[in-house]
Structure 1
Amino acid sequence: MDNDDNLSHLRVRKLQNNTWIVKTRAGDVLVNCPPETLKFLLASGLPVPKIILLPPDMPIGQQLGSSGFVHRGINYASVEFLLYTNYFVNGGQRTRLITVTPNQAQRLHQILQETIVGPADSTEYYPHPWVQRECRLLSYHPPLGRSIEVDDLAEIIELETGGGELGQGISISLDGDQYRFSEDGVEIASVSTAIDASAMPLILAPPQPVLRQEITLQFIGGSDGYDPEGITTCFLAYFGSTGEDRVILFDAAAYLRVRLGNLGISPAQISEVVISHLHEDHIAGLPELLLGRHRVRLITSKIIYRSLLRVLSAMLAVPENEIAVLFDYFPLQPGQPLLLEGKTFEATYAIHTIPTLAVRVNGLCYSGDMRYDEEWFTQLEADGILSQTRRLEIIQFAEGARILVQDAGGGPIHTTLTPEVLSSLAAKSKHVILTHAPKSHHKLPATLQDWQNVEFAIDGYVAAVGKVLHQNHEIEKLETISACPLYARLSISGRAALAQQVELGTWEPGEGILQEGETSDGRAYIVHKGLVKTWVGEKLVQVLGRGNSIGERGALTLEPRVASIVASGQTQMLILDPDVFQSVASRLGLSAVYKRVEWLWRHPIFKHLPWATLLDLALDFQPLHLPTGRLLFDYGRPGNECYLLISGAITLLTKDFEPVGTFDKTGEFFGGRAVLFGTPRNTYACVSQESEIWALPAPALQRLYLLYPSVILHLRAVESRRHGHAPLISALEIDPAND
């Protein structure tokens, strides 16, 4: 290593999750900012940088689950809590946020507006205009004499308009796929813009036994956004007397899929997601949930829903109407109960800095983030800020709840635990669980130390009320098989039979399950509990949880394994012995689609997906071999399928038979507008060179809507940019920066 390399090495410190700190005369620069970066910094004993350099946009279509600031479901512009720390903890310091383009800067400001301040347009609060007034009250900052605004916390600049000049002779530039740092015109460091490592959380909740009762809560986390030793408040709620393994998720902590998997939960088990509000610590895990496997039903108020669309649109750099396609929305408005499959959801607005819901469902009450203080409410009524009706609505909302999950974060915008507040809460519910507080704050007032019905939630904590339900462990195997899209193709009787045939294996932390390069023994596996890590060489490429299957490629071909699979924590796997797997493979026709899977595996859009997922997708494609001159579809006709071009050439023509262009690159997607948007075909398609194409019929697309929302997002993004006239836009070259 020469002197320049030594100097660069001393300047750059690599941290977890594709982040770096570059030391300069103008101050430390943090490169990339995934969720919980603040916690990683605090745990490492590092100061919070005042300059944050964000990544270039990921063009949609390069990688499923990635677009804009989001890479594989992780938002690398998760700056909110660093801004809070620099301003409120470090003496009112503004954070300089550097994006590449003005478009990114505008979108970042939109995210921060919605998540820190709330909707800027007062009409967005209709029909509850008083919500904005209450939010402004909580966000009032005495040193400013007004409510906090985004520009108080951050300066957002972009490289394209000179934002790389940091002062003191320090500059940053983007050169291809490298950020280059210069001092007095001399390069001192460079950092790659590539984000290729799988992001992992600092902490995983330890799995605890879950003895199901009529209401059972399983906490992924019970702390706040600052605590490096705890996970932000997020929990699962099981209801009913059947023992069915379907849950409601309340808020979405960061790295949600990994954290669910560590607890033995598949996203397929989540029936609804309730979003209380849009602070980063409550929605950081939502993009990866929405862009992953399985469609979810999202429940929140209309104010919060519209704000959420703007946030996700800005994160992903796609239009709001395309975001809305990713999930099914069920509005939950105060005074308008929502009935959903035997569950009754009710809501009121909590008092917080941005619109926030408190929610009740079948005996459970969740406060959301809330400053709860009945004496304060009385003063607000006297000051004319709250009406009597509104004050009583807040006070009475939790009365009679069998379990009350209550914010206890303290300070001016959360609930402070005084004897009076705790006495009031304990009178409303026989079981009060306090959240949003680090372990160091888990102390009841001295006069209430012996209370048995009040406790603090910690990571992995389980609480339950009501009669104990019978649990059938064979049913758990069936649920795991059903959570795997590939094996869920079997009939229910076929899955039940498979649950009887599989073996259950247990691996200890760090123990190898499969070894790269070893000859396959013909077995396949489904993750049942815990997590497994997939390694190719020394690179971690995937972390998989319950309902993900592995080993099918080797089991089909008996070729050497192409990756190593290692248990992360104690892990249980369902093992399909060779004869069991071959029976399933025969029923599903897996051998017949092997070549299709290998082709998808080399496709730039699909190559990052697990091989078993590609196997599932390949079953839906129908190969067609078409001669030159064949008319594939007509202008103005409805569409029932879309296509992937494998070989040959397809020419598109206007209604007047004028050429729009020709697709001749393998892997090109076309013909999707009519079937995706329900519109007539806007071109003719003619085979201009003998071709092989794969058709994806409408029923298969509907399955994609349910199981692979990120695939649908990509296909819709491609077609939304095509207008039936030249120039022809390739699906392989879509770039949101050109919108």
Structure 2
Amino acid sequence: MNRIQAVRELPRGGLLIFTRQEPVQFGIPPETIKDTMATGVPKIFVVPGAMFSLEKGISLAELEFPVYYHFFFLKQKVQVVCTRTQKQRIQVILSEALFGPRNLTSLGAEFPKGVSTPGFPDLKAEMDHFRTLPVNERRKKFTLSDVIQFHVFDRNGTVRIQDLTIQLDDRGTCTIREKETLVAAIPVTRPLIPDNPVDFSVQQVFSPPLFGITTLGSGHGFDPDAMTSGMIIWINQRGIMVDPPVNSAVDLIRLGVNPKILDAIILTHCHADHDSGTLQKIMLEGKITLYTTPTVFNSFIRKSAALIHIDRSRLQKAFSFVPIHTGEPINIHGAMFEFNYSFHSIPTIFFQVSHAGKTFIYSSDTRNDPDHICIMHEKGIMSKSRRDFLLRFPWDRDVIFHEAGVPPIHTPMKVLTALPASVREKIYLVHVARDQVPETSGLKIAPTGLSSTVTLCPSAGPFQAAMDILGAFLDLDLFRSLPPEKTLEFLSIADPQTLSSGEVLFRKGDPGDRFFLIISGQVDIMEDGTPLTTLSRSDFFGEKCLFSDQPRTADAVAASRVNLVGVDRQDMQTFIRQTGLEKTLRHLSIFQGKAMRNILDGHPVFHDLTPSQKRQLFQMVEPVTLPKHGNTVLIREKEKPDACYYIHGGLVKVMRTGREVSELAHGRLFGIQPVLNHAAESDYTFSARPDAVLFRFASPAIKAFAENNPGVFLKLCSEAF
């Protein structure tokens, strides 16, 4: 067999290696099972050295659905090749996904009257029910050892499975041999996820409704023709992502949805087809607010920390968690939400929303089957109160999104087809394959995509223009700390403008007489016809005119239809006078530009930042002036550094207990670890040579930046120094 032909890149990621014995998959990103179902899902999976891609925000060890497929459909175990440490991490991940949390002693605290609350569930009994299977005319709870067989690399980095020998060398290269024949050699640098970079210069703009639902995916985890279920709930034109499917957050950017307006996530439960995209969204720009119950949250943290291989307390800093208390209304973005636990194999929440005189309910994953629920009560698995609560599903809501997955853990289609026609008309099916829906049922699958958004209330009427300006203004970190009266002042001086795609706002050499803030759309900042950067919602430009009479230094051209506001130079100078904005904008006017962008692009983390994130860096960067002779100590061992440093040129020595341990050059960052670690003492001394070119980031500023941009935070946590 030709070695080149033996390795195939799967469309969704991972590598399929063909051997005469059987196929082997190396790397397991989410949903790759959909790429192999037609030809045969591999039974042997090799876990790569990195189980999680920090760059893409995606798991490379999503074994949950291969386990389901082989165990429930083929009645066999998955074979997993990994290191001993990886085995322990995978056991944590799969235990949470398959069996749910072990400890539910604090569940009562999530209910208004504790365990006495009407409808209070015995989640342990319900989970045990789904976990119990018939075996040899008896029922037993299946365990991890029933579904997975681990093959751990020995001290020589070798695993043997019949005729296959899988080896891992010191450089991280994985080789697969069949008998004595080399089938594949996979270096640690081999990409395992298709390279599909985010383009921030999209040509379209989406205007969200005041209240509506955009379906991101309506399929289930085994449906190769559809994205797994997930949605956006639009409230007052801001988006709350519900179980975002993997890659959906990135796809939305390409479709013209600015990530700043998607600032919250509702996580219903911790199955891979519902939580895989959550980490990816968290890794993008801005800090996300996560809404779920403490039970689901703790399960997510245990699972995610094991996947990323990071301390749980550090991971929790990556987002803001708002604990949900079931049965109690909670205001999210101006709408009233109410959450409760559904009937599923692990703790899962469903919810309903009331806003602008309309109502919506999402069933989430559940077995909403009245006959089966009654049997569960008869068997003592659920109380009469819990049974009655589940049987009172509110079918009278204006819009109903209901799952119709594959039993025994989902709702049978016959339950939904038996509903009255007036109810079926309001239902949008999710978590379902198209061929599962009877043609004459009167049921419909939720249409996916922004253009198919289900709108319950379109706009805010006469106040819409002011809301648009205020939304962009308050999304900008620079303005957020201003007192309320400054917001009103900005509204009074802001002059709304609309540009068509390709329209020129100003040219290089034009007088600099206005400051601009983008409300929606994209603007290219260009030099000699070449885009330098693309700006979008809540980005501003033209700040140099506030501190200098020099003309424009670049062109500004609309990359799409653009709504923005312009503020006359004199009005903006008055607005920022005697505020912190004046100092910040003056600093930006000096350091924000092509030269500094090129300098910071030398670091892999800084290179991948959004234009808005780069602007935040420009606000804090400071050049370092070094003496012309002798080395300069910048950070001392066992002292708390007041800054971290970026090397643009020259060399920096790294010392520990008086001995040189390393030498750092262009593109390296140092001093960041103690800054991120609660201003801890440095383990090293760093001294720069006279010819070094360095830039400084003060500790409080870079720490705040990292904590407000979780993807950056998690990537910087992997820095050596």
Q: When the two structures are superposed, what TM-score results if normalisation uses the length of structure 1?
A: 0.74
Contact preservation (8 Å) 1:71, 1:195: no
| Change beyond 3 A, Cα 1:213–1:494 | closer
| Change beyond 3 A, Cα 1:479–1:208 | same
Once the two structures are superposed, residues 674-728 of structure 1 have per-residue CA deviations (whole angstroms, 9 ceiling, x without a partner) of: 654445656796857546543323563365246521222244455xxxxxxxxxx
CA distance in 2, matches of 1:133, 1:421: 29
Structure 1 residue 376 and structure 2 residue 376: aligned?
no
- Partner amino acid, structure 1, of 2:529: D
SS of alignment partner, residue 89 of structure 2: helix
Map residues 96-135 of structure 1 onto 2, 5 A cutoff.
96-99=79-82, 101-121=83-103, 123=105, 130-135=122-127
Question: Which stretch shifts more, 80-89 or 621-630?
Answer: 621-630
Aligned to 1:172: 166
CA distance in 2, matches of 1:220, 1:138: 28
Structure 1 residue 47 and structure 2 residue 4: aligned?
no
Aligned to 1:644: 646
CA distance in 1, matches of 2:592, 2:413: 63
| Change beyond 3 A, Cα 1:370–1:668 | same
Which of 200, 222, 229 aligns to 2:225? It is 229
| Change beyond 3 A, Cα 1:15–1:706 | same
CA distance in 1, matches of 2:279, 2:438: 34
CA distance in 1, matches of 2:61, 2:180: 28
Structure 1 residue 308 and structure 2 residue 320: aligned?
no
1:652 Cα deviation (Å)? 7.3
Map residues 626-645 of structure 1 onto 2, 5 A cutoff.
626-627=626-627, 641-645=643-647
Contact preservation (8 Å) 1:97, 1:155: yes
Aligned to 1:459: 448
CA distance in 2, matches of 1:589, 1:210: 31
Aligned to 2:64: 80
CA distance in 2, matches of 1:257, 1:181: 35
| Change beyond 3 A, Cα 1:165–1:715 | closer
Map residues 62-461 of structure 1 onto 2, 5 A cutoff.
68=52, 71-89=55-73, 91-99=74-82, 101-121=83-103, 123=105, 130-143=122-135, 145-160=139-154, 164-175=158-169, 176-196=171-191, 199=194, 215-239=211-235, 244-362=236-354, 363-396=359-392, 398=394, 401-418=397-414, 422-423=418-419, 431-443=426-438, 449=442, 455-460=444-449, 461=452
1:357 Cα deviation (Å)? 0.8
Once the two structures are superposed, residues 452-504 of structure 1 have per-residue CA deviations (whole angstroms, 9 ceiling, x without a partner) of: xx642132242232576549699879978997999999998699979737542
- Partner amino acid, structure 1, of 2:285: R
SS of alignment partner, residue 135 of structure 1: helix
Aligned to 2:519: none
Aligned to 1:34: 29
SS of alignment partner, residue 33 of structure 2: helix
| Change beyond 3 A, Cα 1:672–1:608 | closer
1:113 Cα deviation (Å)? 1.1
SS of alignment partner, residue 88 of structure 1: helix
CA distance in 2, matches of 1:495, 1:151: 67
- Partner amino acid, structure 1, of 2:187: S
Q: List alignment gaps of at least 5 residues for structure 2.
A: 110-114, 116-120, 197-202, 504-521, 542-551, 573-584
| Change beyond 3 A, Cα 1:48–1:198 | closer
Once the two structures are superposed, residues 493-550 of structure 1 have per-residue CA deviations (whole angstroms, 9 ceiling, x without a partner) of: 69997973754259xxxxxx99xxx99415566487xxxxxxxxxxxxxxxxx99999
Contact preservation (8 Å) 2:653, 2:687: yes
1:246 Cα deviation (Å)? 0.8
| Change beyond 3 A, Cα 1:601–1:306 | same
Structure 1 residue 710 and structure 2 residue 711: aligned?
yes
Structure 1 residue 500 and structure 2 residue 519: aligned?
no
SS of alignment partner, residue 418 of structure 1: helix
1:87 Cα deviation (Å)? 2.1
1:384 Cα deviation (Å)? 1.9
Aligned to 1:535: none
1:192 Cα deviation (Å)? 3.4
1:388 Cα deviation (Å)? 1.9
1:607 Cα deviation (Å)? 4.2
1:323 Cα deviation (Å)? 0.9
| Change beyond 3 A, Cα 1:259–1:467 | closer
Once the two structures are superposed, residues 613-644 of structure 1 have per-residue CA deviations (whole angstroms, 9 ceiling, x without a partner) of: 54653443112224468775789987654333
| Change beyond 3 A, Cα 1:421–1:387 | farther
CA distance in 2, matches of 1:147, 1:375: 23
The structure showing larger relative contact order (alpha-carbon pairs under 8 Å, at least 6 residues apart) is 1
| Change beyond 3 A, Cα 1:499–1:98 | farther
CA distance in 2, matches of 1:130, 1:414: 18
1:587 Cα deviation (Å)? 9.5
Contact preservation (8 Å) 1:481, 1:499: no
| Change beyond 3 A, Cα 1:289–1:387 | same
Aligned to 2:112: none
Contact preservation (8 Å) 1:170, 1:182: yes
CA distance in 2, matches of 1:296, 1:48: 35
Contact preservation (8 Å) 1:221, 1:234: yes
Question: Which stretch shifts more, 359-368 or 154-163?
Answer: 154-163
Aligned to 1:599: 599
CA distance in 1, matches of 2:689, 2:659: 16
1:120 Cα deviation (Å)? 3.4
Q: List alignment gaps of at least 5 residues for structure 1.
A: 1-5, 59-67, 202-206, 507-512, 529-545, 551-555, 560-570, 719-729, 732-739
Contact preservation (8 Å) 1:217, 1:462: yes
CA distance in 1, matches of 2:593, 2:368: 59
Question: Which stretch shifts more, 289-298 or 180-189?
Answer: 180-189
Contact preservation (8 Å) 1:322, 1:716: no
| Change beyond 3 A, Cα 1:475–1:303 | closer
Contact preservation (8 Å) 1:26, 1:166: no
1:415 Cα deviation (Å)? 0.8
CA distance in 2, matches of 1:503, 1:477: 18
CA distance in 1, matches of 2:533, 2:595: 21
- Partner amino acid, structure 1, of 2:76: Q
Aligned to 2:4: 9
CA distance in 2, matches of 1:46, 1:276: 32
Contact preservation (8 Å) 1:525, 1:549: no
Contact preservation (8 Å) 2:633, 2:688: no
1:282 Cα deviation (Å)? 0.5
Contact preservation (8 Å) 1:252, 1:286: yes
SS of alignment partner, residue 287 of structure 2: coil
| Change beyond 3 A, Cα 1:16–1:456 | closer
Aligned to 1:539: none
CA distance in 2, matches of 1:162, 1:133: 45
Once the two structures are superposed, residues 216-266 of structure 1 have per-residue CA deviations (whole angstroms, 9 ceiling, x without a partner) of: 111011111111111111011112xxxx43111111201122332344322
CA distance in 1, matches of 2:683, 2:86: 34
Contact preservation (8 Å) 2:215, 2:448: yes
Aligned to 1:665: 664
